Amino acid sequence: MNQLFQAANKNPHKIAIIDHNGEYTYSQLLQNSTKIASHLLENSADLNEARVAFMVSPGFEYVSVQWAIWMAGGIAVPLCISYPFPSLKYVLDDTAATLVVAGHEYQTILDPIQNDPSVRFLKYSDFEEEIEIKPLPEIDENRGAMILYTSGTTSLPKGVLTTHKTIESQISTLVSAWAWSESDHTVGILPLHHVHGIINVMSCALWSGASIHFLNPFDAEKLFQIFETGKVNVFMAVPTIYFKLISAFESFSNQRKTNLSEILNGFRLMVSGSAALPVSVMETWHKISGHYLLERYGMTEIGMAISNPYKGERKAGHIGQALPGVEIRLVDESNNLVASDEPGEIQVKGPGVFKSYWGKPEATIKTFTTDGWFKTGDIAQLVDGYYKILGRDSIDIIKSGGYKISALEIEEVLRTNSNIKDCGVVGIPNPEWGELVVAALITEKDFNLDELTSWLKERMPAYKIPRKFIQLDELPRNAMGKVTKNELKKHFTT
């Protein structure tokens, strides 16, 4: 990760991080990271890819620990700060982590492993003790650097191993494509056990010599207050965050709305990702901020691969075009290239693609074609030069009555109904249809089934219209705001 640390050296007195404890310069970040790396090394010269799991709050402490692990030659395994202990234990056991670092807020939840003889348990407060700074090992770019876990929507989460070279490619591609610079100032609100928060926001900012203000936990009012300082010019979030910001914005006085709209209009970049962005949210946010959100597409395994342009037309409901250095192709179920206007599975090649699933060689082999393309499992269509996601083959593509139906397409239509705040569409097993199209709705008021069905008939073919509707107070979601469709299905089968 030499590029990252070299960038920090270029701006020693610049503010790198702002969190609830204060402001920290790049020099302070490097010094603290080096000190922690010496603690981690203890009596060794190199951690030699030992897995170091850490549960630390977003901010100066988190970045210091992550950088220290890389400096000392370890593989960083960030733990989700909102997970219950069994989920944490799964990651610790799967990675066979031999070092665990806990911030003071998380010592209690990790208490069951503190006396485990196979684990060296370190509290963040241990790093405050003075220590002789040790020589840091030379790290080959092809060595393992980080293990992040997939969301596990269809099976147990898999550990995605990336190398230093992979991570540097993911960062540098976005820094170039989205024109990051040291004059940028962003906000970190996304979970730091996912690519979106770690790579797209935090690492791109620090690589560029920019400043990042961490806000944890998310609070719409506090976030708007940060915006009102006038410093922020780059913002990235998931659709559910934009939805919450819109709801909060609508409660403000007209004067505050006017002031905020003027401030938001001055941002240079706003991005949405990690889940499909409803066109209705994009249009509403445009009215508020003057920005059409930049949608992009990525995965834990590949970083970002496709993006709407920083400069140029951004098409609502489309994820854009292949990023520089990334190869994209769409194929059918027999792995043949599809016609230009036909839907197919997205497959990816490029230096940003992960190395392997940790400890799962068979799963790794299975997810790559024989000629080296990563099989994403996501179905897309190329429309006028822009890719449009239709859904995930096993989750969002419903096979009903001989048709392949995009759940995302139906959701988008439903969200245009003024009474529907949000929705989730899934397919459930049915002996007659194979799968039955059903929908869960969050509504402003009770809906009339006949009226809704008639409304839908004016907007889509009959075979796409859900055969069953239920009302929920909220949709089940994971830490990144994605609707967990397998959990949603249970509401229709119980």
- Paired strand residues for 303: 299
484 in Cβ contact with 455 (< 8 Å): no
Domain membership flag for residue 480: yes
Q: What is the CATH number of the domain that holds 420?
A: 3.30.300.30
20 in Cβ contact with 59 (< 8 Å): yes
Domain membership flag for residue 308: no
> How far apart (Å, rounded) are the C-alpha atoms in residues 305 and 407?
23
**Per-residue pLDDT tens over the stretch 337-375:** 999 889 999 999 999 999 999 999 999 999 999 999 999
Could you tell me the two tokens for 272?
């949405």
Cis peptide bond upstream of 217, omega within 30: yes
How confident is the model at residue 256, as a pLDDT? 98
Domain limit, last residue, from 139, 165, 200:
139
Other beta carbons within 10 angstroms of residue 468's beta carbon come to 12
How confident is the model at residue 1, as a pLDDT? 65
**Count of domains observed in the chain:** 2
Domain membership flag for residue 451: yes
> How far apart (Å, rounded) are the C-alpha atoms in residues 52 and 166?
19
Structural domain including 77 reads 2-139
Domain membership flag for residue 236: no
How confident is the model at residue 280, as a pLDDT? 81
Domain membership flag for residue 360: no
Residue ranges of the chain with per-residue pLDDT less than 70: 1, 151-155, 480, 494
Count of residues making up the chain = 494
> How far apart (Å, rounded) are the C-alpha atoms in residues 389 and 345?
10
Domain membership flag for residue 94: yes
Domain limit, last residue, from 123, 139, 155:
139
How confident is the model at residue 390, as a pLDDT? 84
How confident is the model at residue 155, as a pLDDT? 58
How confident is the model at residue 424, as a pLDDT? 94
Give 254-261 contacts, CB < 8 A, sequence gap 24+. 257/288, 259/228, 260/224, 260/227, 260/228, 260/288, 261/288, 261/289, 261/290
Q: What is the CATH number of the domain that holds 112?
A: 3.40.50.980
How confident is the model at residue 151, as a pLDDT? 66
How confident is the model at residue 447, as a pLDDT? 87
Domain membership flag for residue 469: yes
Domain membership flag for residue 291: no
Domain limit, last residue, from 86, 112, 139:
139
How confident is the model at residue 460, as a pLDDT? 85
How confident is the model at residue 265, as a pLDDT? 98
> How many separate helices (H) and strands (E) can be counted in the chain?
15, 25
